[in-house]
Amino acid sequence: MTTTSVAQIAVLAGDGVGPEIMTAALAVLKTVSQDQFQYQLQAVPFGGIAIDQCGEPLPATTLATCQASDAVLLAAVGGPKWDQAPQRPEAGLLALRQALNLFANIRPTRITEANQHYSPLKLAAPVDFVIFRELTSGIYFGQPRTFSSEMAVDTMRYQREEIARIARLAFQFATTRSQHVTLVDKANVLASSRLWRQVVAAIAAEFPAVTYDTKYVDATAMQLIAHPEQFDVILTANLFGDILSDEAAEITGSLGTIPSISQGSQGPALYEPIHGSAPDIAGQSRANPIAMIRSVALMLAHSFKRTDLANEITTAIDAVMAAGIVTPDLGGSATTTAVTAAIINHIQESREVYATDHV
Protein backbone atom coordinates (compact mmCIF):
# COMPACT_ATOMS: atom_id res chain seq x y z
CA MET A 1 0.00 0.00 0.00
CA THR A 2 1.33 3.45 -0.89
CA THR A 3 1.06 6.41 1.44
CA THR A 4 -1.52 8.02 -0.86
CA SER A 5 -3.86 5.04 -1.29
CA VAL A 6 -6.78 4.09 0.91
CA ALA A 7 -6.03 1.25 3.33
CA GLN A 8 -8.37 -1.71 2.91
CA ILE A 9 -9.18 -3.34 6.26
CA ALA A 10 -11.24 -6.51 6.66
CA VAL A 11 -13.27 -6.50 9.89
CA LEU A 12 -14.17 -9.81 11.53
CA ALA A 13 -16.14 -8.98 14.69
CA GLY A 14 -16.96 -12.63 15.30
CA ASP A 15 -18.74 -13.93 18.38
CA GLY A 16 -19.41 -13.26 22.08
CA VAL A 17 -17.87 -9.95 23.15
CA GLY A 18 -16.30 -9.59 19.71
CA PRO A 19 -18.80 -7.06 18.29
CA GLU A 20 -18.52 -4.87 21.43
CA ILE A 21 -14.75 -4.67 21.49
CA MET A 22 -14.57 -4.25 17.71
CA THR A 23 -16.95 -1.28 17.93
CA ALA A 24 -14.70 0.21 20.61
CA ALA A 25 -11.53 -0.31 18.59
CA LEU A 26 -12.99 1.14 15.41
CA ALA A 27 -14.14 4.22 17.33
CA VAL A 28 -10.57 4.77 18.50
CA LEU A 29 -9.27 4.18 14.96
CA LYS A 30 -11.68 6.82 13.65
CA THR A 31 -10.60 9.31 16.31
CA VAL A 32 -6.89 8.90 15.76
CA SER A 33 -7.12 8.82 11.96
CA GLN A 34 -9.32 11.83 11.15
CA ASP A 35 -7.77 13.30 7.98
CA GLN A 36 -4.34 11.79 8.70
CA PHE A 37 -5.00 8.20 7.62
CA GLN A 38 -7.43 7.12 4.92
CA TYR A 39 -9.00 3.70 5.22
CA GLN A 40 -12.01 1.65 4.16
CA LEU A 41 -13.62 -1.05 6.30
CA GLN A 42 -15.20 -4.23 4.98
CA ALA A 43 -17.15 -6.12 7.65
CA VAL A 44 -17.67 -9.82 6.92
CA PRO A 45 -19.10 -12.77 8.93
CA PHE A 46 -16.65 -15.13 10.60
CA GLY A 47 -16.78 -17.89 13.20
CA GLY A 48 -20.04 -18.84 14.89
CA ILE A 49 -22.03 -16.00 13.38
CA ALA A 50 -20.88 -17.15 9.94
CA ILE A 51 -22.07 -20.67 10.72
CA ASP A 52 -25.49 -19.24 11.55
CA GLN A 53 -25.60 -17.07 8.43
CA CYS A 54 -23.72 -19.15 5.87
CA GLY A 55 -23.37 -22.66 7.28
CA GLU A 56 -19.58 -22.53 7.70
CA PRO A 57 -17.12 -20.57 9.88
CA LEU A 58 -15.05 -19.17 6.99
CA PRO A 59 -17.29 -18.45 4.01
CA ALA A 60 -15.61 -18.06 0.64
CA THR A 61 -16.65 -14.40 0.44
CA THR A 62 -15.06 -13.70 3.84
CA LEU A 63 -11.80 -15.35 2.81
CA ALA A 64 -11.76 -13.46 -0.50
CA THR A 65 -12.28 -10.16 1.34
CA CYS A 66 -9.40 -10.94 3.72
CA GLN A 67 -7.09 -11.94 0.89
CA ALA A 68 -7.84 -8.70 -0.97
CA SER A 69 -7.26 -6.50 2.11
CA ASP A 70 -4.15 -4.77 3.40
CA ALA A 71 -4.85 -5.95 6.97
CA VAL A 72 -7.38 -8.04 8.86
CA LEU A 73 -8.88 -7.13 12.26
CA LEU A 74 -10.39 -10.02 14.23
CA ALA A 75 -12.12 -9.63 17.59
CA ALA A 76 -13.15 -13.04 18.99
CA VAL A 77 -14.45 -16.39 17.83
CA GLY A 78 -16.41 -19.28 19.32
CA GLY A 79 -18.87 -20.08 22.09
CA PRO A 80 -20.86 -22.96 23.59
CA LYS A 81 -23.73 -22.36 21.17
CA TRP A 82 -21.68 -24.09 18.45
CA ASP A 83 -20.13 -26.90 20.50
CA GLN A 84 -22.16 -29.51 18.63
CA ALA A 85 -21.95 -27.89 15.20
CA PRO A 86 -20.48 -30.00 12.34
CA GLN A 87 -17.68 -27.40 12.20
CA ARG A 88 -16.62 -25.45 15.26
CA PRO A 89 -16.08 -21.69 14.84
CA GLU A 90 -12.38 -22.09 15.72
CA ALA A 91 -11.94 -24.19 12.57
CA GLY A 92 -12.47 -20.98 10.63
CA LEU A 93 -9.48 -19.37 12.36
CA LEU A 94 -7.19 -22.31 11.57
CA ALA A 95 -8.36 -22.25 7.96
CA LEU A 96 -7.82 -18.49 7.70
CA ARG A 97 -4.28 -18.74 9.07
CA GLN A 98 -3.51 -21.49 6.58
CA ALA A 99 -5.04 -19.65 3.62
CA LEU A 100 -3.12 -16.45 4.41
CA ASN A 101 0.06 -18.43 5.24
CA LEU A 102 0.30 -16.77 8.66
CA PHE A 103 3.24 -18.70 10.09
CA ALA A 104 4.33 -16.25 12.80
CA ASN A 105 2.31 -15.21 15.82
CA ILE A 106 3.75 -12.11 17.48
CA ARG A 107 2.62 -11.21 21.01
CA PRO A 108 4.00 -8.17 22.83
CA THR A 109 4.03 -7.99 26.63
CA ARG A 110 4.50 -4.50 28.00
CA ILE A 111 4.18 -3.28 31.58
CA THR A 112 5.06 0.36 32.09
CA GLU A 113 6.05 1.88 35.41
CA ALA A 114 2.67 3.63 35.63
CA ASN A 115 0.78 0.34 35.21
CA GLN A 116 2.92 -2.01 37.29
CA HIS A 117 0.34 -2.07 40.08
CA TYR A 118 -1.96 -4.17 37.86
CA SER A 119 0.64 -6.95 37.65
CA PRO A 120 0.52 -9.79 40.21
CA LEU A 121 4.33 -9.60 40.29
CA LYS A 122 6.54 -7.28 42.29
CA LEU A 123 8.49 -5.94 39.34
CA ALA A 124 11.94 -4.42 39.71
CA ALA A 125 11.74 -2.66 36.35
CA PRO A 126 9.32 -2.05 33.47
CA VAL A 127 8.73 -5.04 31.17
CA ASP A 128 8.77 -4.91 27.38
CA PHE A 129 9.27 -8.12 25.41
CA VAL A 130 7.76 -9.84 22.37
CA ILE A 131 7.15 -13.55 21.78
CA PHE A 132 7.54 -14.92 18.24
CA ARG A 133 5.60 -18.19 18.14
CA GLU A 134 5.74 -20.46 15.10
CA LEU A 135 2.10 -20.93 14.16
CA THR A 136 1.53 -23.45 11.38
CA SER A 137 3.70 -26.47 12.17
CA GLY A 138 4.97 -28.46 15.16
CA ILE A 139 3.05 -30.85 17.36
CA TYR A 140 -0.38 -29.32 16.62
CA PHE A 141 -0.10 -30.27 12.94
CA GLY A 142 2.40 -33.14 12.80
CA GLN A 143 1.52 -36.56 11.46
CA PRO A 144 1.08 -39.37 12.40
CA ARG A 145 -1.56 -38.53 15.00
CA THR A 146 -3.49 -41.37 16.59
CA PHE A 147 -5.72 -41.93 19.59
CA SER A 148 -7.18 -45.01 21.21
CA SER A 149 -8.14 -46.05 24.71
CA GLU A 150 -4.72 -47.70 25.07
CA MET A 151 -2.36 -45.34 23.25
CA ALA A 152 -2.11 -41.84 21.83
CA VAL A 153 0.52 -40.41 19.46
CA ASP A 154 1.29 -36.81 18.57
CA THR A 155 4.18 -35.87 16.29
CA MET A 156 6.43 -32.85 16.70
CA ARG A 157 7.62 -32.20 13.16
CA TYR A 158 9.57 -29.23 11.78
CA GLN A 159 11.32 -28.55 8.49
CA ARG A 160 14.37 -26.33 8.18
CA GLU A 161 12.61 -23.65 6.14
CA GLU A 162 9.70 -23.43 8.61
CA ILE A 163 12.18 -22.55 11.33
CA ALA A 164 14.32 -20.24 9.20
CA ARG A 165 11.46 -18.03 8.04
CA ILE A 166 10.19 -17.17 11.52
CA ALA A 167 13.72 -16.89 12.90
CA ARG A 168 14.59 -14.31 10.27
CA LEU A 169 11.46 -12.32 11.12
CA ALA A 170 12.36 -12.39 14.82
CA PHE A 171 15.90 -11.16 14.23
CA GLN A 172 14.71 -8.42 11.87
CA PHE A 173 12.23 -7.31 14.52
CA ALA A 174 14.93 -7.32 17.20
CA THR A 175 16.97 -4.81 15.20
CA THR A 176 14.19 -2.27 15.82
CA ARG A 177 14.22 -2.93 19.58
CA SER A 178 16.96 -3.81 22.07
CA GLN A 179 18.70 -6.22 19.67
CA HIS A 180 18.43 -9.37 21.76
CA VAL A 181 16.86 -12.68 20.68
CA THR A 182 16.37 -15.65 23.01
CA LEU A 183 15.56 -19.02 21.45
CA VAL A 184 13.41 -21.11 23.82
CA ASP A 185 13.43 -24.87 23.29
CA LYS A 186 14.01 -28.27 24.90
CA ALA A 187 17.16 -29.24 23.01
CA ASN A 188 18.37 -31.50 25.82
CA VAL A 189 15.45 -33.85 25.07
CA LEU A 190 13.82 -33.15 21.70
CA ALA A 191 15.31 -33.76 18.25
CA SER A 192 13.11 -31.02 16.80
CA SER A 193 14.63 -28.54 19.26
CA ARG A 194 18.12 -29.54 18.19
CA LEU A 195 17.16 -28.67 14.62
CA TRP A 196 15.83 -25.32 15.86
CA ARG A 197 19.20 -24.60 17.48
CA GLN A 198 21.08 -25.49 14.32
CA VAL A 199 18.92 -23.39 12.01
CA VAL A 200 18.55 -20.37 14.32
CA ALA A 201 22.29 -20.22 14.96
CA ALA A 202 22.83 -19.88 11.21
CA ILE A 203 20.24 -17.08 11.00
CA ALA A 204 21.81 -15.34 14.02
CA ALA A 205 25.10 -15.13 12.13
CA GLU A 206 23.35 -12.90 9.57
CA PHE A 207 22.61 -10.37 12.34
CA PRO A 208 25.92 -9.76 14.15
CA ALA A 209 24.59 -6.69 15.98
CA VAL A 210 21.88 -8.78 17.68
CA THR A 211 22.75 -10.62 20.89
CA TYR A 212 21.61 -14.24 20.64
CA ASP A 213 21.18 -16.79 23.42
CA THR A 214 19.16 -19.91 24.21
CA LYS A 215 17.11 -21.11 27.17
CA TYR A 216 15.18 -24.27 27.96
CA VAL A 217 11.43 -23.80 28.08
CA ASP A 218 11.05 -24.85 31.72
CA ALA A 219 13.72 -22.36 32.81
CA THR A 220 12.06 -19.66 30.71
CA ALA A 221 8.69 -20.32 32.36
CA MET A 222 10.32 -19.60 35.72
CA GLN A 223 12.26 -16.57 34.48
CA LEU A 224 9.12 -14.95 33.04
CA ILE A 225 7.86 -14.79 36.62
CA ALA A 226 11.14 -14.06 38.40
CA HIS A 227 12.85 -11.63 36.00
CA PRO A 228 10.68 -10.81 32.96
CA GLU A 229 12.58 -7.57 32.36
CA GLN A 230 15.57 -9.54 30.98
CA PHE A 231 13.76 -10.53 27.77
CA ASP A 232 13.49 -8.62 24.49
CA VAL A 233 12.48 -10.99 21.66
CA ILE A 234 11.61 -14.59 22.51
CA LEU A 235 11.59 -17.03 19.59
CA THR A 236 10.00 -20.44 20.03
CA ALA A 237 8.04 -23.34 18.57
CA ASN A 238 4.26 -23.58 18.36
CA LEU A 239 3.55 -25.57 21.55
CA PHE A 240 6.01 -23.67 23.75
CA GLY A 241 4.84 -20.32 22.38
CA ASP A 242 1.22 -21.15 23.04
CA ILE A 243 1.94 -21.80 26.72
CA LEU A 244 4.52 -19.07 27.36
CA SER A 245 2.51 -16.32 25.67
CA ASP A 246 -0.48 -16.97 27.93
CA GLU A 247 1.80 -16.99 30.96
CA ALA A 248 3.29 -13.70 29.77
CA ALA A 249 -0.16 -12.20 29.37
CA GLU A 250 -1.05 -13.02 32.96
CA ILE A 251 1.86 -11.05 34.38
CA THR A 252 0.26 -7.88 32.99
CA GLY A 253 -2.77 -8.45 35.22
CA SER A 254 -5.25 -9.50 32.54
CA LEU A 255 -5.48 -11.34 29.22
CA GLY A 256 -7.73 -8.44 28.23
CA THR A 257 -4.76 -6.15 27.61
CA ILE A 258 -2.69 -8.20 25.14
CA PRO A 259 -2.89 -7.85 21.34
CA SER A 260 -1.24 -10.04 18.74
CA ILE A 261 -0.15 -10.17 15.11
CA SER A 262 -0.27 -13.24 12.89
CA GLN A 263 2.00 -12.63 9.93
CA GLY A 264 3.29 -14.36 6.81
CA SER A 265 6.05 -13.49 4.38
CA GLN A 266 3.61 -11.54 2.22
CA GLY A 267 -0.06 -10.62 2.09
CA PRO A 268 -2.20 -9.17 4.88
CA ALA A 269 -1.39 -9.69 8.55
CA LEU A 270 -4.10 -10.61 11.06
CA TYR A 271 -4.48 -8.51 14.22
CA GLU A 272 -6.46 -9.81 17.20
CA PRO A 273 -6.61 -9.83 21.02
CA ILE A 274 -5.46 -13.07 22.60
CA HIS A 275 -8.47 -13.51 24.87
CA GLY A 276 -11.53 -15.56 24.02
CA SER A 277 -15.09 -14.62 23.14
CA ALA A 278 -16.27 -14.56 26.82
CA PRO A 279 -19.92 -15.38 26.00
CA ASP A 280 -20.84 -15.17 29.70
CA ILE A 281 -20.39 -11.38 29.67
CA ALA A 282 -21.38 -10.66 26.06
CA GLY A 283 -23.71 -7.70 25.68
CA GLN A 284 -23.08 -6.40 29.22
CA SER A 285 -20.39 -3.78 28.43
CA ARG A 286 -18.02 -5.54 30.83
CA ALA A 287 -15.45 -6.72 28.29
CA ASN A 288 -12.01 -5.13 28.36
CA PRO A 289 -11.52 -3.35 25.00
CA ILE A 290 -7.82 -2.58 25.52
CA ALA A 291 -6.41 -5.67 23.77
CA MET A 292 -8.55 -5.00 20.70
CA ILE A 293 -7.63 -1.31 20.71
CA ARG A 294 -3.96 -2.23 21.03
CA SER A 295 -4.43 -4.57 18.08
CA VAL A 296 -5.48 -1.54 16.05
CA ALA A 297 -2.34 0.28 17.21
CA LEU A 298 -0.21 -2.69 16.10
CA MET A 299 -1.95 -2.66 12.73
CA LEU A 300 -1.23 1.03 12.23
CA ALA A 301 2.43 0.58 13.16
CA HIS A 302 3.24 -2.63 11.32
CA SER A 303 0.96 -2.84 8.29
CA PHE A 304 0.73 0.89 7.56
CA LYS A 305 3.94 2.28 9.12
CA ARG A 306 1.99 4.88 11.12
CA THR A 307 3.87 4.59 14.38
CA ASP A 308 2.87 8.17 15.17
CA LEU A 309 -0.82 7.23 15.33
CA ALA A 310 -0.05 3.95 17.10
CA ASN A 311 1.91 5.82 19.76
CA GLU A 312 -1.02 8.17 20.35
CA ILE A 313 -3.23 5.16 21.06
CA THR A 314 -0.80 3.39 23.38
CA THR A 315 -0.06 6.62 25.27
CA ALA A 316 -3.78 7.17 25.78
CA ILE A 317 -4.25 3.58 26.99
CA ASP A 318 -1.40 3.93 29.47
CA ALA A 319 -2.86 7.18 30.82
CA VAL A 320 -6.36 5.74 31.21
CA MET A 321 -5.05 2.63 32.98
CA ALA A 322 -2.86 4.76 35.24
CA ALA A 323 -5.97 6.77 36.15
CA GLY A 324 -7.75 3.58 37.20
CA ILE A 325 -10.41 3.68 34.48
CA VAL A 326 -10.49 -0.06 33.86
CA THR A 327 -12.94 -2.93 33.51
CA PRO A 328 -13.64 -5.58 36.20
CA ASP A 329 -10.93 -7.99 34.97
CA LEU A 330 -8.38 -5.40 36.17
CA GLY A 331 -10.21 -4.72 39.42
CA GLY A 332 -12.12 -1.69 38.18
CA SER A 333 -15.79 -0.89 37.66
CA ALA A 334 -15.70 0.95 34.32
CA THR A 335 -17.70 -0.35 31.39
CA THR A 336 -16.38 -1.16 27.94
CA THR A 337 -17.96 2.06 26.72
CA ALA A 338 -16.47 4.17 29.52
CA VAL A 339 -12.92 2.86 28.95
CA THR A 340 -13.25 3.51 25.23
CA ALA A 341 -14.58 7.02 25.80
CA ALA A 342 -11.70 7.80 28.19
CA ILE A 343 -9.13 6.70 25.61
CA ILE A 344 -10.79 8.77 22.90
CA ASN A 345 -11.00 11.80 25.19
CA HIS A 346 -7.29 11.53 26.03
CA ILE A 347 -6.36 11.46 22.34
CA GLN A 348 -8.55 14.46 21.58
CA GLU A 349 -7.36 16.47 24.58
CA SER A 350 -3.70 15.72 23.84
CA ARG A 351 -4.15 16.96 20.28
CA GLU A 352 -5.83 20.12 21.49
CA VAL A 353 -2.94 20.80 23.88
CA TYR A 354 -0.43 20.18 21.11
CA ALA A 355 -2.28 22.49 18.73
CA THR A 356 -2.43 25.26 21.35
CA ASP A 357 1.27 24.92 22.15
CA HIS A 358 2.20 25.12 18.48
CA VAL A 359 0.10 28.10 17.43
Q: Which residues are catalytic?
A: 140, 186, 218, 242, 246
For 123-153, b/e burial (b = at least 16 CB within 10 A) is beeebbbbbbbbbbbbbbbbeeeeeeeeeee
Which residues touch 82 (CB under 8 Å, ≥6 apart)? 48, 51, 88, 89
Using DSSP, state whether 359 is helix, strand or coil: coil
Gap between the Cα atoms of 347 and 79, Å rounded = 34
Instruction: Write out 30-79 in H/E/C secondary structure.
Output: HHHHCCCCCEEEEECCCCHHHHHHHCCCCCHHHHHHHHCCCEEEEEECCC
CA atoms within 13 A on the CB side of 352: 7
Gap between the Cα atoms of 27 and 41, Å rounded = 12
Gap between the Cα atoms of 307 and 284, Å rounded = 33
